[in-house]
Amino acid sequence: MNSRFPEQPITSIFPDRRAMGGAAATLVNEAIRRIVAAKGKARIVMACAPSQDDFYAALIPLAREAVDEWRKVEVFHMDEYAGLSGDAPQSFRHYLREHFLDHVKVAAFHPIRGEAKDLEDEASCYAGLLVAEPIDVISMGIGENGHIAFNDPPVADFADPLRMKLVELDPACRQQQVNDGCFPSLAWVPRYALTLTLPVFAEAGMLVGIVPTARKAQAVRDTLLGPVGRDCPATLLRGHPSSYLFLDAHAASLLPDD
């Protein structure tokens, strides 16, 4: 750990996305194996975004080698667009199935139903599933505006009384979805989504951030070196006792040199 960064999160920088994803996958797989050995099961929340592609590509073969352990894992995801069905290509349920769940057998997957008629009720029901037992691991990204899940700066609350809520997406967050190639233009991006709240991250056993590309460089700098607070929700990682941040060289490009 370099002294130029805070003690948490433990930050590792890699020359490219593939190396970054491989290292994060190794850490998560080892954590899952250790937790299942100790408790007989594990619960993980997994991010769904193009920034996670290299992580999942590396995790699939590792999880297939640890098939007995991953069969005892409950999987959650952290957000979903309001109004989208699970079959929509932009749906986060669709992403997670395509990039991981269609390749690895798990104990259970708990999808967020973005198409539910009563989204407040859906949020309440999903929150109940989340808090039924501790969340052991969260694999996550960081948004261009510093968000984690869809906790954008305008709605982020470090002391949120809820564990899932319906939010209006910040314009910068919606533009990121276009930048990621998920939607053809801003007009296509939904304005509302269901999201896990910041206390879910704070209460999890381990946080593993996987953050590539130069578009995330300012958010990474703010996460590690800026003031802790809602202006950069990802600064939550600095107060977590077991948090890790995996960066490629582009995402780390605005960090100070040794």
Quick one: average pLDDT of 69-98? 94
pLDDT over 80 at 2, yes or no: no
Identity of the amino acid at 115: E
For the chain, the distance separating the N- and C-terminal CA atoms, rounded to the nearest angstrom, is: 12
For 229: left if phi > 0, alpha if psi spans -120 to 50, otherwise beta; the answer is left
pLDDT tens per residue, range 22-69: 999 999 999 999 999 999 999 999 999 999 999 999 999 999 999 999
Long-range pairs for 147-150: beta carbons < 8 A, 24 or more residues apart: 147/173, 147/233, 147/234, 148/198, 148/201, 148/233, 148/234, 148/236, 149/47, 149/78, 149/79, 149/195, 149/196, 149/197, 149/201, 150/79, 150/193, 150/194, 150/195
Single pTM value for the model: 0.94
Q: Which domains does the chain have, with CATH numbers?
A: 10-248 (3.40.50.1360)
